Structure 1
Amino acid sequence: MDKLTFNFFQEINKDNNYNLLFPKREVGLAIAWLYQQILVGAFTDGTFKETDIHEALDKMHPGAKKPDHRKQTDRFNIIVSDLQHYFIRYDEGKQAYFFKEYGSEFCKHALETLYGNFEPTRIEKICTELKKNLEACYEESDLKDWLDIEFDTFKPQLKHQIDYLERQIDQSVHEIRQSQIKKGDTSILETLKEISERFDLIRKQNKELNAAFRELDRIKQLLEQKAIRIDDKDLGDRVFSVQQFIQEMKKLLSMVDQRLDRIQPKVKQLFANLNKPLFNARIEKFLAYLLEYSTVETVHSKKVLQLPDTIPKWIFYRQKPKFTIVERKKDLFPSTAKRKHTYTENKDHKKKAYQKSRERFQQQNKVDIWLNQIEKDLQQTSEISFTPYFFKAFNENDQNLELAIDLVYRVLQEHSSYGWQLHIDEGMTENQENGSLQIRKMSIQKKQHEAV
């Protein structure tokens, strides 16, 4: 049974599976508390006693701080029994418990999500390593190992970085909505300033992550090249899903930029609107201070305004320096006149170039006609052989090998855009009219996923 035939919803809805996989809040917090104790080294070798589990459950109980609270030992024993399905395992030799793989991953995933570590440098190294190992895949078995072992391992880490940026935006928007605006209170202005600076940082991080993902474009191109030689349908579908994932990563990065484009100007405008009354109030207070504490003194029969001692002295007038201007005569060092070249039009060369371009255009037009014919024939049947089309294009155009080769190149280059899937065999087929010309057998099919 594989993932496609396994009915996930039916199984998780069966019996008590959902509650065993996702326990209640107080039980989940108790699991997190035990995991934290392991991280800080409170539990040696990662094991803990049943009394430790009871202690964790008792700490997280909603009524733990009430005076009449009593430890519910019998209920805790039932919870411990339930946790042994997926979260913890009992070691009879040590008479202690330790986390199962699901329990560790349950806590580890939550920790990494909340910690929100941004690592574009590490992501760039991962993408570079994935590309390097993909280039070394020459057989279908190698490609399967690359998909199962390497790409699936690092796929969550690639998407986690974009999730981190989106969480930063959501948190900033939430802080704006929760801020209380009070008259004369500068806390909201400081909050908006911090959020505006945070948006600038997010935009910078988004550009860094986009640069770290640049190797994904090369991976996508390599997969397209390898997909031509894949005969296994399941493997082809997996390659196609990887290409879709890469496209999704690029789209999500673009969406982060679009969100910043919508939100950031509004935050800056709000900051400016709220800051304007405060700025006006400070200017008014400053002017009142100058009027009250400034004095006028007589210096050499001139009245001079003396600002308060706390105001820095400014020099309002400064004598401009005088520069000597040396005039440059334009005819002092006259430049040598250059001879103007004249070109005569060669009508023969022009006619030959035009004729060559016209022939090339006509050839491209003929290739387009053959491609349309292949597409039309694929509407009638699910699979066709490409060999007859190649030889017809060769024979019906005065054995123009360049046109036939151009047709092959266009099929290999543009089959994805037409929704075709190519299958190339090792066998060769000869031209019936000219036995010296051979081509490898190749069939064309419509991709099945296009019908979805």
Structure 2
Amino acid sequence: MTDDFDFLGTLQRDNLRTYKLLYPDPQLGMVVMWLYDRHLSGAFPAKTFKEDTINQAFRELFGHNRQQWQDYANKISDLNEFFLRYDEQLQVYSFKNYAIEFCQRAYDVLLNTFNPTEIEQICAKLRRDLEGAHTVEGYEFWFATNLPAFQPRMKGQIDFLERQIQESVDELRKHAYRSDASIQQALEQVVQRLDEIREQNKELTAAFHEIDRIKIHLDELQANNQWPSLQEPIDNAFVFFAEMLRDLRIVDRRIDRIQPKLRQLFGTLNQPLFNGRVERFLRHLLVESEFVRDSSGRRQLQLPENIHPLLIHISTPSLPIIERKEFPTKRFSIAQKSQQNQSDRRNAFATSAERIRRQSVVERWVGRFEQLVQQQGEAQFDSFFQAILIEENNDVDLAVRVAYRVFRQFTNNPHYSLSVDNQTLVEYKTQPSLSSWQMIVQKRQTDTLS
């Protein structure tokens, strides 16, 4: 990235002219896509086409007459900036590289299909290539070439699931305010689709199991790293894999948020049906029931034939009485108390196990930070704090515990010096409401020399 390049300023220049050239209006954009589709089908063997072909695109897509083509002549010339190249001698057009990348990216996104087996194979290949790299050149090639080559495909699978969810939500919104019976069937299809997406998310999570093995190898590489040029790529790889797992959890949580609303909507839809059935039942009782006299002359309510009479009195059965001394049993209250104690013990054990697990995670993060200080001579904790938030799914409590442990471990430590700059306030992108002073830990010079 070039620091002196004003990206936004360039896009906004001349009343957004550059932006409009990069992203043409929908009709011109569709014309470019039409030409690209013909290009993929092999309609342009020389990879060139004439202006008549562009006019044909307008005619097939929008049915424009010649006068309207004239109106678009000026706009077509705008495509020469980034999309088309015009050969004045031969009077033909060809695609510029930006047009190819622009259309191909849209093509890949829309074509993307769910394939967890392919993701598993990709991750396995990445892991084998990483394990086969034993030199700094080999590792640099893996970080610069192997990993970036597969990142779009891995992200594309998660994007595919999110797009499927959005399509289900759009389908739900389309039917939400309809009153006909077809909405029930449409909603059932949406629920079924969301269940399928959740299963696909589980399959994709399982396919990413190779990531754990890659992270273990990266941990070992980071712990024994002798090449400073690899430190930043290793950190970036950790962040990428953490983001992948985080995005998978986001997909699952989004389904969790949608499904209760679907159940509520089903309840709302079924309530009028239930009320109608209750009303018809009561009307049937009022119309078809009558009072009759029995053999003794008393009036009794006779329900309709298809409704069984109410059983008001049940004869009391004759049960034998067993003395406690003949059949001793434990008191129910004691058994109940025992069950309660067992439940309390299970809850206490689960709480204790969770506390131990979190403490282990804190210890692991503190150990990683100490390794970072050992390798680099110094480390800035706020960037490490951000990495904790990303990988631990924004668990602020855990990140703060790590910060507290780091502060205690490195304060007044004869091997390290810890400095806090209370003039520099650091903010975190994933937690906008959270900020901290800049904290730097350095390895003391005596330890470095030894």
Give the TM-score normalised by structure 2.
Answer: 0.59
Q: Aligned partners of 2:211, 2:111: CA distance in 1, in Å?
A: 26
Equivalent residue in structure 2 for 1:127, among 117, 123, 126: 123
In structure 1, how many angstroms separate the alpha carbons of the residues matched to 2:215 and 2:188?
41
Q: Is the aligned partner of 1:420 residue 2:372?
A: yes
Who is 2:199 aligned against?
204
Mapped partners of 2:194, 2:24: distance in 1: 36
1:271 is aligned to 2:204: no
Per the alignment, residue 11 of structure 2 pairs with 12
Tell me which amino acid in the other structure corresponds to 1:9.
L
Q: Deviations over 1:277-317 (max 9, x none)?
A: 5578799999x9xxxxxxxxxxxxxxxxxx9xxxxxxxxxx
- CA spacing shift, 1:3–1:145, aligned 2, 3 Å: farther
Give the drift of 1:124: 1.1
Counterpart position of 1:369: none
1:108 aligns with 2:104: yes
8 A contact 1:89–1:100 mirrored in 2: yes
Picking from 111, 117, 131, the partner of 2:113 is 117
- Residue 261 of structure 2 is aligned to residue 237 of structure 1: no
After superposition, residues 119-268 of structure 1 pair within 5 angstroms as 119-179=115-175, 181-183=177-179, 185-230=180-225, 233=228, 235-268=230-263
Q: Which amino acid aligns with 1:97?
A: Y
* Cα contact 2:31–2:57 (8 A) shared by 1: yes
Larger radius of gyration between Structure 1 and Structure 2: 1
State whether structure 2 residue 3 is matched by structure 1 residue 70: no
Q: Which residue of 2 aligns with 1:303?
A: none
Distance 1:221 1:11 in 2: 43
1:206–1:257: 8 Å Cα contact kept in structure 2?
yes
Q: How many residues align?
A: 307
Summarize deviations over 1:312-366 as a string: whole Å, max 9, x none: xxxxxxxxxxxxxxxxxxxxxxxxxxxxxxxxxxxxxxxxxxxxxxxxxxxxxxx
Unaligned runs of 5+ in 1: 289-306, 308-409, 424-442
> In the alignment, what sits opposite 2:93?
97
What are the Cα deviations for residues 10-67 of structure 1, in whole angstroms up to 9, with x where unaligned?
A: 4434454322221222211111111122234444454322221233346566xx55x7
In structure 2, how many angstroms separate the alpha carbons of the residues matched to 1:153 and 1:13?
A: 32
Kindly tell me: are residues 250 and 73 of structure 1, through their superposed partners in 2, closer, same or farther at Cα, counting changes over 3 Å? same
Structure showing the higher helix proportion among its residues = 2
Letter in 1 for 2:201: N
Query: Contact between 1:120 and 1:212, CA under 8 Å: does it hold in 2?
Result: yes
> Alpha carbons of 1:285 and 1:181: their partners in 2 closer, same or farther (altered >3 Å)?
farther
1: CA distance, partners of 2:110 / 2:280: 46
Counterpart in 2 of 1:292? none
Q: Matches of 2:82 and 2:225 in 1, distance apart?
A: 39
Match status 1:54 vs 2:60: no
Deviation at 1:103, TM superposition (A): 1.0
Could you tell me how far apart the structure 2 residues matched to 1:267 and 1:46 are? 51
Q: Which amino acid aligns with 2:149?
A: T
In the TM superposition, residue 85 of structure 1 has moved relative to its aligned partner by 3.1
Q: Distance in 2 between matches of 1:91 and 1:182?
A: 55
**Aligned AA for 1:243?**
F
Distance 1:264 1:57, change over 3 A: same
Q: Which amino acid aligns with 1:22?
A: Y
Alignment of 1:434-445 (within 5 A): 444-445=377-378
Supply the AA of the counterpart residue of 1:246.
F
* Post-superposition offset of 1:264: 1.2
Letter paired with 1:420: L
Secondary structure at the counterpart of residue 368 of structure 2 = helix
In structure 2, relative to structure 1, the CA distance for the partners of 1:10 and 1:139 (3 Å cut) is farther
SS state at 1:97 partner: strand
Which amino acid is the alignment partner of residue 240 of structure 1?
A: D
How far off is 1:192 after superposition? Answer: 0.3
Shift of 1:180: 5.1
Partners of 1:47 and 1:98 within 8 A in 2: yes
Per the alignment, do residues 422 and 97 of structure 1 end up closer, same or farther by CA in structure 2, a change over 3 Å counting?
farther
CA 1:71/1:58 → structure 2, altered by over 3 Å: closer, same or farther? farther
Which residue identity lines up with residue 446 of structure 1 in the other structure?
Answer: A
CA gap 1:282/1:90 in 2 versus in 1, 3 angstroms: farther
After superposition, the Cα gap between the structure-2 partners of 1:114 and 1:414, relative to the gap in structure 1 and judged at 3 Å, is same
Secondary structure in 1 aligned to 2:133? Answer: coil
